Each structure stands twice: as structure tokens, then as C-alpha cells.
A and B are shown apart, each in its own frame.
Chain A
Amino acid sequence: MLPAAAPPPAAPARRRTRRSPVSWVRGGGLGTLVFLLPMLVVFGLFSWSPIVQAVVMSFQETNLVTAPTFVGLDNFRAVLDDPLLWTAVKNTLWFAVLALLLGYPVPLLAAVLMSEVRRFKGLYSALAYLPVVIPPVVAVLLWKFFYDASPTGVFNTVLGAVGIGPVPWLQDAGTAMVSLVIEATWAAAGGTIIIYLAALTSVPPELYEAAEIDGASVWGKVWHVTIPQLRGVLLITFILQIVGTAQVFLEPFLFTGGGPANATTTVLLLIYDYAFANSLGGDYGSATALSLMLAAVLAVLSAIYFRLTRSWSTS
């Protein structure tokens, strides 16, 4: 590995030319710009301009109908003073922890097992990927039906057969979040499994053979060959998982609306509630202020994480 401060290889000497606007146009610059224009317009209109507007809005009090007024940092203060913010942060962290415990190892395990099977490999991949194909809203509504808390609910009937339950699932502050994570894991695992499967094919088989000759067990092969070889991919999926769980919205929104008693109110759901729960059009200022804070926290987290783990990244 090269030390980080190693000087870059000397670039071939090249004369930097400063072109005049006229020569830029003659050289086809205008054409490039025109071809670039549709993308610039689309991105500007639908991506960058909303971001800029959100930043502006976080310093305003507005209902988007009457003229907005600038309120300085009031929105940020209001958000930080809201007792629900800390509940939401706690819930989001709890979701993230549960999702890491459950959602991170399960796909890896499944991928390793699936890469070991010799027959019907395609079938297993298709089955694993199937939940990803189901529209998320449909999946949640289906699971809502499964999670019926009465003894005659689908899951409770199954569990009842082995003497467990009935479990209150979504209807209890203690079990609601776990129920959400189980569904979220089921829904998202397929995509991650496919990524792992692809990465596993790139692991040179000689390494396994060498390990086998050295007398490594299955677990030893996974621990000493598979995981180190996958570390780049694992790193990326880990970051994606953190970013994804910090923005969890769909499950609490559709399953519980944040209940029971705010047990599943996440940061993103809180942002949504600030803006839209009140049918009069709520507090868009606070909603954008909290969005910016979340974005800042995630950016900082990602930066720290990449810095800390740079040494064992493959790239």
C-alpha cells in the first residue's frame, strides 16, 4: 500500500492554454453547452433549486400561500426545543441498531449460503430478490395484515401452533419497532444479497482451495477468506445501511403513523409531520430546518466513517 502522502507521478508536461470565448465557441463549446443544457435544466429545476429553496425556507416562516417572513434561527431553535425530536432521534437510532443486528448479517449469510449451493442457484437468487420487486406500499399493507395482533392474525396463528403468543406486533410500544425492522429487512435483503453474490464470484477460488489445504473449517473460510475479500463491498453496504436507516420513513408512516404513543416516530416521519400532518399546511420552516440538520449529521458521519476505515478499504 502506498503511503497517503506519496507524491503523485510526474504529469507529462503539457502546455495549458487559456482559450478566448471566441475560440471556445469556434471549438464547439456552444454545442457542448447546448447538449448539456437539458441536463442542467432538469437537475437545476428538480434537484438543485429545491435544495436551495429548502435552505432558504429553513430561515423563514411560511405556509407557501401568504408571503414568507424571515425568522432567523427560530426554526432551528423550535426544532431543538421540541421534546419529540429526542424521541425521534432515539427511535431512529433504535431502528438503526436493530436493522444492523438483523438487516446487516442476514443478507451476507444468505449470500454465502446461496453461493455454496450447486443447483438451482438462479432460482434462489430470484426468490431472494422477489420482495424487492413487490411495490413497497403493497408489501407494507400485506405485512400489516400478517401483523394482525388478534390471536387469529396470520403470524399469531402460526406462532400459536407452537405455543407462542399472541404477540401484539404493531400494537405495543415494545414490539412495534422490531416488527418494522423485520419487514424492512425482508423487503431490502434481496438487493443486498445480489450485490454480495456478485462480489463473492470475484473471490478467487484458489484462496478457498489454499484454505482447505490448510485445514480451514467452513467458518474459517468465511472469516479468513470471504469477509476480508468482501470488505470493500461490506463497507459500502454498511454506509448505505446507516444512511438508509437514518432516513427510515415508509415503514413507520404506513404501519403505525409513528404510534403507539410515538414509539415509532422517526426523524424523517417527524419532518413529514411538521410539514404535512396538520392538514392546514404545517410548519415548513421547522421541517426544512430539521432536514438540513439531518443532512449535516449524515454528511459528517459518512466523512468520519470513511476517514476511520480508509486503512482497510480495498480502494
Chain B
Amino acid sequence: MRSSKSIAVLAVATATAAALAACSGGGGAESADGRTLVNVSLDPGLEQGAIDAFNTRVSQFEAANPTIDLVPREYKWDATTFTTQLAGGTLPDVFTVPFTDGRGLIERKQIADISGQVAELPYAKSFNEKVAQAGSAADGRMWAVPIAAHGQALHYNRTLFTQAGLDPDKPPTTWEEIRSAAKQISERTGQAGYAMMTSGNTGGWIATTMDYAFGGRTEKLDGDNAKSTVDTPEMVKALQTVRAMRWDDNSMGSNFLYEWGTINQDFAAGRIGMYVSGGGNYGSLVAQNAMKADDYGVTALPLSGGANAGVLGGGTLAAVSAKAPDKVKAAAVKWIDFYYLEKLTNQDAAVADAKSTADSGQAVGSPELPVFDKASFDQRLGWIQQYVNVPLKQMAPYTDKMFDQPLVPEPTRSTQQVYALLDPVVQSVLTDRNADVTALLNGAQTQAQALLDKK
């Protein structure tokens, strides 16, 4: 009796200890054979072909760098999970983030300072200046490396254009034309002529895009001080344009709570005539929403605010976890160079990447803006030409003009929070006929200034 009790006690104690050991998990930055261990990001949900192509790159890298052991981890930036991964310390050592978050992550020291290692890259000084800004601290040192860039564009459904009696090869070139086209689409097809994102900070994002297109800016920097300029005649004009489409023309459909995912869904399903989003959106429309290539059209965002009008830019940065020790940081920057940037600068890497992307059924050749200069951008397009699988002709209204449009980076201070403040403003305009645009913007500006003053 006594002994069986002791055995039971021992068993429970052992189980508890084992459970605790399992909980404490984690690991050092070194593998068993002393190599530096680096967790790198692999897009989730890829076809086997694409995974094999990724693993080949990993093996090539490890062969060239025998002291580094790469561990692929599934990761894709997602607004709803990134915060928790960042706070919980579960991000891979190398991960990607949108331009929007770059400056904030750097200011708050939530990513590693890799500026020393980046400065040693041969092309460190040849980044496009406006693109480099997204990954740089206020003093100009680069903490995160830009790997892709794009500008905002007007996406439209060619089939709806045709059904509405509009010429899909001649998309709108002014905001007045957008308005009249939206009205025509709405009246003749019953679908939303123009739709707009409004939720999860995207309302602020698109409102800012329109503000830029009308020649406005939402912040004014003066040394360390930032002044919120959300309440300006340009922003009022942007919102009045939307208000007129919603209430005077009734051409914006019936959903006013769109965010990035849901608006893409409805656009691909043929329920939206036009909307504003990132110029390279075609890839995710095809991969995630099964967009029919024939339906798709994209054109340059109309600019109508004189010399100051510009296209809001965006893109992707590669960053390194703030927790990474020096050895891991150095190895991580090598991987960023090898995996993300070689496909922009090296022919073999560019071809191999385009091939595996095309083989896995993903889009190759969606409109992008140069991370470096235009010459190297064009050179790369030449290398990957045979794998391009997107309807280039339907993208010509955008690609013909995109290099001529002035690109303006996103606001740099408290970007997401100010976007968040603008969400309810946009929602009010779209859901309340009597919304007072000036009063709403005035309130948002006061709150935005309070946020900017905190820094």
C-alpha cells in the first residue's frame, strides 16, 4: 500500500516536471553543432513547388554560409496577429512588415537596429530615397530593409464597366469622371460604382490617400515637433467627394464597413466597380479571392491638387527581431540580402524566383515601384519577362503613368493611430447623411495632435 502510494506520488511529480519543462520551451541562438540558428519567414499555404523552391534557396544559403543554420517558419504579416506575435516574442528572427509600421517600430525600438550591417551592403546607398525613408530612423540610419514598393492606384472591374456602357480601356482620369462612372455603373448594373475601405484603420489610410491626391498632407514636421493637419480644405474636399457619391448619387452600394480583406472579396466577386488600394493588389486578388483576370483593370489615381498632389506610397520592409543577439542579426541581414534583395539585383535569383512563383500559380509581374533606381528595375523586368502571367495590357492605364506620378510616403508619426482616428470620420460621412465633415475633422485633428504631442 505504502509503496504504491509513493509510486503514484512520484508519477505525478514526474508528469508535472515534464509539463513544466515542455512549457519553458524556447531555445538558444545556436544549433546543437554550434551553428548560428536563424528563424526565417516562409509564406504560409504555399504549393509544394514553392516550398521546394524556398528550401532550395535555404540550402544554397547554408552551403555558402556553413556557420548559419536556417529554420523556416510560416509567417505572413497580418494586422490582427502581428501585434500579439510582436509582444509575445514569437515572430521569426527575420520577418516582413508594411511601410506603414516601419517608423513606429523603429521609434519604439521593437525591431533590432541592423543599420550597421545594412550599411555594409554593396547597394546600401542606392535605395530609392523615398523608399529608404520607410525603413530608416529619424537620423537616417536604416533599421529595416525595403524589399518591395508600390503606390496607390484605382482598381476597376472591366466587366462592370462594359455592362454599364463605359469603355474599360478608357478608365476615369479625374475625380469628376470617377464620380460619373460610379453613378453610371450603379444605375445600370445595380452594383456599387465606387466603394471605400473604412474599418481597421483602412478608412484613415484611404482618406489620407485621397487627401494626398487632392494636394493635402496630414502632418507637418518641424524638427522634432509634428503638427497634425488632418483638418484641411484638401481633406474636406476628399470627404465631400465621397459624401456626394454616397448621398447625392447613391453610387457607393450598401456596405460601408469594408476593410482590406472584405473589399477585395467583393471586388473580385464583381460587386464593386472601382476602389482605391495598393497598385500591386492583383496578386492577392488572384491568390486569395480567385479574381478573374478578364475582369481586372487598374489605372493611375487621379491627382487634382496642383503641384502638391501626390500618390501615397507603400511597400514591404524586411526587419529583424529586437531580441536577436548580434550573431543572429549579422546572419539575418545576410539572409535578407540573399533571399529578398538578390531577386531584385541578380539575374539567376530573379529568374528562379519568378519561375517558382509562376509555377505555384501566383501572379508574376503585378505593378510595382522600384526599390532601387528605374534602370535596375527595368533590367529585372527583362530577366523575368517569360514568366509574367498577369494581364499586362489591362494594367497599362496604371503602368504607363505610375513613374510620372510624384510618390509621397505615408505620414511618419503615430501613423496607425491617426488612421484609426479617421476611420469613424469616414464611416460617419458614409452612414449619416447629415454628418458635419468640418466638425468631425476638427475633432479628429485635436485628438491626432494629442497623439503627436505624446512623442
Contact = CB atoms under 8 A, between A and B. Distances in A.
B239 to A, nearest CB: 13
B416 A280 contact: yes
Interface residues of A, number: 41
Q: Specify which of B5, B110, B257, B435 lies most central, judged by the most chain A CB atoms within 10 Å of its CB.
A: B257
B13 A37 contact: yes
Nearest to A34: B9
Interface stretch (B292-300, B356-364, B397-405, B419-427): B419-427
B83 A275 contact: yes
B88 interface: yes
B86 A65 contact: yes
A112 to B, nearest CB: 38
A38 B108 CA distance: 39
Given A38-B16, A38-B19, A278-B420, A261 B254 contact: no
Nearest to B199: A257
A84 to B, nearest CB: 9
B83 A278 contact: yes
A253 B256 CA distance: 15
B424 A66 contact: no
B167 interface: no
Interface in A52-104: 63-66, 83
Contact of A171 (B13, B84, B257, B416): B257
B278 to A, nearest CB: 16
B259 interface: yes
A280 B86 contact: yes
Interface in A137-169: 148-150, 152-153, 166, 168
Q: Specify which of B9, B108, B430 lies most central, judged by the most chain A CB atoms within 10 Å of its CB.
A: B9
B117 interface: no
A66 B109 contact: yes
A130 to B, nearest CB: 27
B87 A63 contact: yes
Given A65-B110, A276-B83, A259 B257 contact: yes
A216 to B, nearest CB: 50
A281 B104 CA distance: 10
Nearest to B104: A280
B189 to A, nearest CB: 12
B159 interface: no
Given A65-B87, A168-B254, A41 B420 contact: no
A31 B427 contact: no
Contacts of B431: 168, 171-173, 259-261
A282 B104 CA distance: 11
B200 A277 contact: yes
B79 A66 contact: no
Nearest to A265: B424
B257 A257 contact: yes
Q: How large is the interface on B (under 10, 10 to 19, 20 to 34, 35 or more residues)?
A: 35 or more
B89 interface: yes
A262 B88 CA distance: 29
Given A41-B20, A260-B428, A279-B101, A171 B86 contact: no
Interface in A260-291: 260-262, 273, 275-282, 284
A288 B298 CA distance: 44
A265 B308 CA distance: 36
B423 A259 contact: yes
A35 interface: yes
A279 B417 CA distance: 9
Interface of A is mostly: loop
Contact of B416 (A257, A260, A279): A279
A13 to B, nearest CB: 33
B138 interface: no
Interface string A244-267: 000000000000110111100000
A170 interface: yes
Contacts of A31: 5, 8-9
B3 interface: no
Contacts of B8: 31
Nearest to B97: A279
A136 B256 CA distance: 23
A38 B8 CA distance: 13
Interface string B221-263: 0000000000000000000000000000000011111010000
A109 interface: no
A145 to B, nearest CB: 11
Nearest to A256: B257
B9 A30 contact: yes
A66 B190 CA distance: 52
B48 interface: no
A20 to B, nearest CB: 21
B427 A63 contact: no
Nearest to B271: A150
Nearest to A35: B12
Interface string B82-122: 11101111000000000011001100111000000000000
Contacts of B157: none
Nearest to B102: A280
Given A259-B198, A259-B424, A261-B432, A280 B13 contact: no
A174 to B, nearest CB: 9
Given A35-B9, A38-B16, A280 B105 contact: yes
Interface in A1-42: 28, 30-31, 34-35, 37-38, 41
A66 B100 CA distance: 21
Contacts of B269: none
Nearest to B203: A259
Interface string A168-199: 10111100000000000000000000000000
A45 interface: yes
A277 B201 contact: yes
Given A38-B15, A38-B19, 20 more contacts: A31-B8, A34-B9, A38-B12, A41-B19, A63-B110, A64-B87, A64-B89, A65-B89, A65-B109, A168-B431, A173-B431, A257-B200, A259-B424, A260-B256, A261-B425, A277-B200, A280-B83, A280-B416, A281-B83, A281-B110
Closest A-B pairs by Cβ, 9 of them: A64-B87, A149-B254, A260-B431, A261-B428, A150-B254, A260-B427, A257-B199, A261-B424, A261-B427
8 contacts: A37-B13, A63-B87, A65-B108, A170-B257, A171-B254, A279-B82, A280-B83, A280-B416
